[in-house]
Amino acid sequence: MPSNRRKKRCCRADAPGQTNLFWANRAKPDAMNVLVVGAGAMGRWFAEATNRDLAFTDADPAVAERAANELGGKAVELDTSETFDAVCLAVPLLAVEEAIEDHAGKAERAILDLTGVMAEPVSAMADHAPGKERVSLHPLFAPDNAPGNVAVVADESGPTTDNLLSALESRGNTLVETTPEEHDEAMTTVQAGAHTAILAFALSANSVPEGLRTPVYDCLADLTAQVTDGDSRVYADIQEAFDGAEDVAVAAQELTDADPTEFERLYRKAKAKTETRAEEKR
């Protein structure tokens, strides 16, 4: 492994107070074959970033074939009996538990997911792959914006997952240890709440002439362009999986109903929370 690796400690999901070094200097396996289940954008990102001996499968066989042709490797049937050193699940968020049940048996050493929710897949992997290395990943960016932060829960780490995580890190990604609870709670704000606020602005905003725009408006307009450039199903799945939209709606209603005095109070509260977050970020 690179000598300048920044070693990090990661908590096991079932024992947040315990730590293990899963970026320890272990020997790199001579060869590793990886099955990527779900050959969409995120599955392809993982495959390209880890650059191992790849196989792809997808509910749409043509998608798996295209990924194999473009990134190297092969396409296999969803119900293949072939086994692999590692299996990575890059399926829609709401389908991950069923996918783990269906494909865990194909993993000889390790199973990973990168669906964006953590509590359910971590639990499902422990149930269906109890003797294997198990890691849940959440790239906190769209594949086109890579590299970036990748949330990591190493429920049961080992040489195979170490090797794959090392590959991700070598591509410029920052691996951020967390727990399923901490991650999923954060996503209520980071994803569900943020997306709701941005899409609400997009739905409610009127067209504004170029010369009458403000810097705040332009920032929000850029955010709406970024969010609406994605996959609507992915955003719908996030809203289904995480609370957060309701809090945004309540806050918007409070601002709508507020008289000037109450509005000032809410403004000051927002400012205080913003300053607290800025302080925590330092």
**Which amino acid would we find at residue 193?**
G
For 5-9, 90-94, 148-152, 235-239, which range has the lowest pLDDT when averaged over its residues? 5-9
User: Of 238, 239, 236, 205, whose CA–CA distance to 220 is shortest?
Assistant: 205
Q: Please give the average per-residue pLDDT across 236-253, as a whole number.
A: 96
202 has pLDDT over 90: yes
Per DSSP, the chain holds a count of helices (H) and strands (E) of 11, 10
- What whole-number distance in Å separates Cα of residue 261 and Cα of residue 251? 16
pLDDT, residue 135, reads: 98
> What are the structure tokens assigned to 11, written together?
């908590």
User: Of 136, 147, 235, whose CA–CA distance to 184 is shortest?
Assistant: 136
Q: List, for residues 69-119, the tens digit of each pLDDT value.
A: 999 999 999 999 999 999 999 999 999 999 999 999 999 999 999 999 999
- What whole-number distance in Å separates Cα of residue 196 and Cα of residue 187? 12
Map residue 31 onto helix, strand or coil: coil
* Residue 26 confidence class, pLDDT cut points 50, 70, 90: very low
Q: In what order do the strands lie in the sheet with 84-89?
A: 74-75, 53-57, 33-37, 84-89, 107-113, 133-139, 149-156, 174-177
